[in-house]
Structures are given as C-alpha cells and as structure tokens.
C-alpha cells in the first residue's frame, strides 16, 4: 500500500485533482478512476466501502471554534445533501456523510461562503489543528492560544506540505489543563514560561511524535525547548519540512513522525529542525500545566464576571442536522452566536449571561444533550464504527452507549469514567489513553456463535498509556467487569 500511495502522489499531486473533481461532478461517480478516489481525500472527500457511491466529508474547523452562521451552512449541507447525518470528532471537528459527487461543487461553495474548507483533511496532510475548547474564556488559562492554532491550521495549507509521508496532527493550547491532549499528537504545544533577557516570557513547551494507532502506540516525547508564541508557526513549518523530506515512505504502518524520531533520536531530529528553523532554540523553561482529569460539560465560569459556558453531551458525537440547527438557535438566543467543539465529541455554548442560564437549562434540547450527564457517559468517546468504517469490527458507537448506560446503573452517578472505545487497532477512539479503554474483537463461543467482544485496557490518561487487562470480554459482561475495575481503582 505504501508504494501504491507514494506512486499515486508522484504521478499527480493530490491538490491537482480539483479541476477533475468538478468534471466528475458533471459526469457522475462511475467516471471516477480508483486512483482519483484517493486523491479526492486531499479535499476532504473520503469514499467508504459501506456507502458505495457516497462520500464522507471531513471539515477543517481550527481550534473547534465556529460561528452559528457557519454551523447553519453545515446544517444546510447535511439536510439537503447528507441525509441529516453528522459526527462530532475527537479533533474538534465535524464530518458529514452521504454526499454525492454531483453535489460537491455546491457543498464547496456553501462552505467557502462562510469561511470554511475541507482542504487537506485526508490522507498524507496535516489535519485540523486543535486547541483548548475554552480558549479565551477559561479562568485557568495562561494565555489565549486559539489565534495561533487557527493561523497554523490555515497558513500551511497548499503545495508545501501536500505530500507528507503520512498524516500529521497538531495541537496548540495556552490552557493549564492540557485539555487538547498534547501528547497524543505529532506536535503538542502546552503553556510554559521562561526568563529571557530579564523578562518573563510566556510561550510553549513542545512534545513530539505522539500517535496512538497501530501496534506501537506512543505518547509524544518532550523536545526540551521553549518557544515564544511568535515562534509557534515557524516551528511547525520546520518540523513538517524535516518530516516531509526525511520520513519513511516504505511502509505506511511505520511512516508517522514517531518512527523518524525513533530512528534518529530526539537530539538529531531537533538539530535538523533547528537548521530549518534558522536560529537556536531556547532551552526548556517552566511548565505551567497542572493536573486535570475533568471535561467541558456542565457550567463553567468564564473570565468575564457574570458569563458562563454551557457544555452539552453529544453521546459518542453522533448527531443530526436538526439538533445542530437548534444548537445554533440557542447560541444566538442565549450567547453571542459562537459554538465550540471539544476533543470528547461534545459541544459548548459560550458567553451565556448568568441571568439567562436557568431559561437555557430548561430548553427541551438540553434534556437530550445533557449538560449534567451521568458520570459513566461524561467521558465516553467512540470511533466511527462498522456502519461507516470497513476497518471496524463492530458498531462501536451503539455498543459503547449500551455499555456506558449499563455501567451507569452500577456506579455512583458522580463517578466520572474516561471510557474510550475503538473498533480496531487504528485506535481512532483513543482507547490507549482511556481510564477504561476498549478495542473491538470478535469472539467465537463454544456453540460456534460469533459475538461482539472487546479487549479491556485500564489506567490510561494523556500522560500514560493504558495497560491491556483482559482479552475478548463479551459485551454483555463488560459493564460488570468495568465496574469491578473502577472499584479496585477507587480502593473500594
């Protein structure tokens, strides 16, 4: 597969498929050659075997911040062309489904009209850049890094990095809680301080090489440097350049940044990055991170007195046009026309004045997308699952909701569980960093029946990987087993 993809890219850069994309829109799906189906990923269009003839579209929403106008444009696309379906993702993003190639030009135009794009959100490109969902609002924020995350997400688009050896993930946060999960990314920036020329400067520490998929999951390693805020964008460009020019292209399972760092070692890698960067890096300063294991659900006081953010649970991120249209209405009525997406597949309404809070909490939609959900559901994350992904071994979204609901009846309602569920080894549900992690399997029973089961991982978080505790536990036994593991963790 590695050779096939690399050959495809040498024959024709993925970005060059755009004129042909419009031609295929006139001619229909059957006119698209197989290699061009791969190239369409450069514009965020991913064809799935489960939905032949239709595309999933992955958007680019930097730092997960969008306006209600942008959300309504997404809603209109979902309603008219996407069977009302959409998913909120672990990259603070939105995926649309059931799009026909004939409708793509209109979809692109509607996105462009509101300042959105899906360019370079698939295959060997850098993906949506994440940040703290409460950037600019959180009382524990060191500084607002959202403008930096937004600039990095958009400034490097184009030919310069349209042919990476593999996909690339970046997160940039000025929040002390690392709620954008820095060590699960290829580049993870978190707030730090350093005295430079007699002045205390705020900036970033950097972790490199995080990647959770495959059989060798790895959290990002400390790069040992301090960046000023102005250096964040050129640093990302330098790292991407070194990765683009030196990363392995022989085997796709060993082509992520972590493999280049393993081969070279961090000192050599950083020396090469420094050459491209053009000046010596500052040594590491003082990390400004504090321990945090919460989420963004419920009511959060903002920096400005009298205002709060209301975080709503969207179970496993699966939603629809009607819900998101109503969310936009509520954000206009009670907030300031802004929405925030989270790494846990949920959504926030910021800038709600406390005098309006009671009325907002009484709205019918908030009885469905609950701000005060049971603890077993609060930390639940699931990958796409078998209905849309041919790698998944089960319908992870439905099964994870089933398990979490059963678990909620077995544990105290206030006990938050960081439960992360993946349908395969690719770990899109991030099960390696869950307090409880589940990876889908299939189990043959003694009578020959094959049932859904999961491998159980325990003790993970975004600073350490979970440990495999048991293999192939049938779904109907999972809630009880997880409750027992949680009781052991809590010393009960």
Catalytic residues: 58, 166-167, 423, 428-429
CB atoms within 10 A of CB 16: 13
CA distance 315 to 381: 8
Instruction: Retrieve residue 365's tokens.
Output: 């939609």
State the pairing for strand pair 55-58/45-47. Answer: antiparallel
For residue 306, the Cα-to-chain-centroid distance in whole angstroms is 31
At 400, phi and psi to the nearest 5?
A: -65, -35
Cα 257 to Cα 164: distance, rounded to the nearest angstrom? 10
Residue 344 and residue 90 in contact, taking contact as beta carbons nearer than 8 Å: yes
Instruction: Quote the strand ranges of 174-248, DSSP E.
Output: 187-196, 199-208, 221-228
Tokens of 380: 């639940």
**Residues in Cβ contact with 21 at an 8 Å cutoff, skipping those fewer than 6 apart:** 40, 43, 45, 101, 104
- Do the beta carbons of residue 399 and residue 475 sit within 8 Å? yes
Q: Could you say which DSSP state residue 4 is in?
A: H
Q: How far apart are CA 268 and CA 272, in angstroms?
A: 6
The span from the CA of 66 to the CA of 376, in Å, is: 28
Under 8 Å between Cβ of 171 and 188: yes
Find residue 168's DSSP bridge partners.
Answer: 126
* Distance, CA of 405 to CA of 400 (rounded, Å): 8
Q: Collapsing DSSP states into helix, strand and coil, what is residue 109?
A: helix
433 phi and psi angles, rounded to 5 deg? -115, 15
Chain mean position to CA 323? 21
For residues 280 and 224, give the distance between their C-alpha atoms in angstroms, rounded to a whole number. Answer: 12
> Distance between CA 304 and CA 309 in Å, rounded?
11
Q: Cα Rg for the chain, rounded, in angstroms?
A: 22
């Amino acid at each position: 597969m590695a050779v096939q993809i690399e050959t495809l890219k040498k024959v024709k850069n993925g970005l060059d498929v755009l004129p042909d994309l419009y031609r295929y829109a006139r001619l229909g799906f059957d006119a698209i050659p197989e290699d061009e189906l791969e190239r369409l990923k450069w514009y965020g269009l991913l064809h799935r075997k489960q939905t032949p003839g239709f595309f999933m579209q992955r958007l680019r929403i930097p730092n997960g911040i969008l306006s209600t106008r942008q959300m309504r444009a997404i809603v209109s696309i979902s309603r008219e062309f996407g069977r009302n379906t959409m998913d909120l993702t672990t990259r603070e993003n939105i995926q649309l489904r059931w799009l026909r190639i004939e409708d793509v030009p209109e979809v692109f135009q509607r996105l462009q009209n509101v300042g959105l794009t899906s360019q370079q959100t698939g295959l060997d490109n850098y993906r949506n850049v994440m940040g703290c969902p409460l950037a600019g609002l959180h009382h524990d924020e060191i500084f607002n890094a959202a403008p930096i995350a937004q600039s990095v997400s958009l400034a490097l688009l184009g030919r310069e990095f349209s042919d990476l050896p593999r996909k690339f993930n970046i997160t940039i946060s000025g929040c002390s809680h690392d709620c954008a999960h820095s060590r699960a990314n290829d580049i993870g920036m978190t707030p730090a301080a350093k005295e430079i020329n007699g002045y205390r400067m705020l900036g970033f520490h950097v972790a490199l090489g995080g990647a959770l998929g495959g059989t060798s999951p790895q959290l990002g390693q400390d790069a040992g440097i301090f960046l000023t805020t102005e250096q964040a964008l050129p640093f990302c460009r330098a790292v991407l350049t070194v990765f683009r020019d030196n990363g392995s292209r022989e085997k796709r399972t060993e082509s992520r940044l972590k493999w280049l760092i393993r081969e070279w070692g961090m000192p050599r890698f950083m020396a090469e990055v420094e050459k491209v960067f053009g000046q010596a890096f500052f040594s590491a300063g003082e990390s400004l991170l504090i321990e945090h294991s919460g989420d963004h659900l419920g009511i959060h006081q903002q920096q400005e007195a009298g205002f709060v953010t209301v975080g709503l649970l969207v179970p496993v991120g699966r939603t629809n046009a009607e819900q998101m249209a109503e969310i936009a209405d509520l954000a206009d009525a009670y907030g300031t026309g802004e929405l925030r997406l989270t790494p846990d597949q949920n959504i926030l309404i910021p800038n709600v004045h406390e005098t309006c809070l009671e009325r907002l909490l009484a709205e019918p939609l908030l009885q469905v997308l609950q701000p005060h959900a049971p603890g077993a559901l609060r930390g639940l994350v699931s990958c796409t699952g078998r209905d849309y992904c041919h790698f998944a071994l089960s319908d992870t979204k439905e099964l994870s909701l089933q398990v979490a609901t059963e678990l909620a009846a077995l544990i105290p309602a206030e006990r938050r569980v960081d439960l992360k569920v993946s349908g395969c080894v690719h770990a899109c549900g991030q099960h390696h960093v869950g307090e409880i992690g589940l990876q889908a399997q299939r189990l043959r029973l003694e009578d020959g029946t094959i049932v859904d089961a999961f491998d159980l991982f325990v003790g993970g978080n975004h600073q350490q990987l979970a440990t495999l505790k048991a293999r192939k536990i049938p779904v109907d036994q999972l809630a009880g087993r997880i409750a027992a593991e949680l009781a052991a963790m809590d010393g009960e």
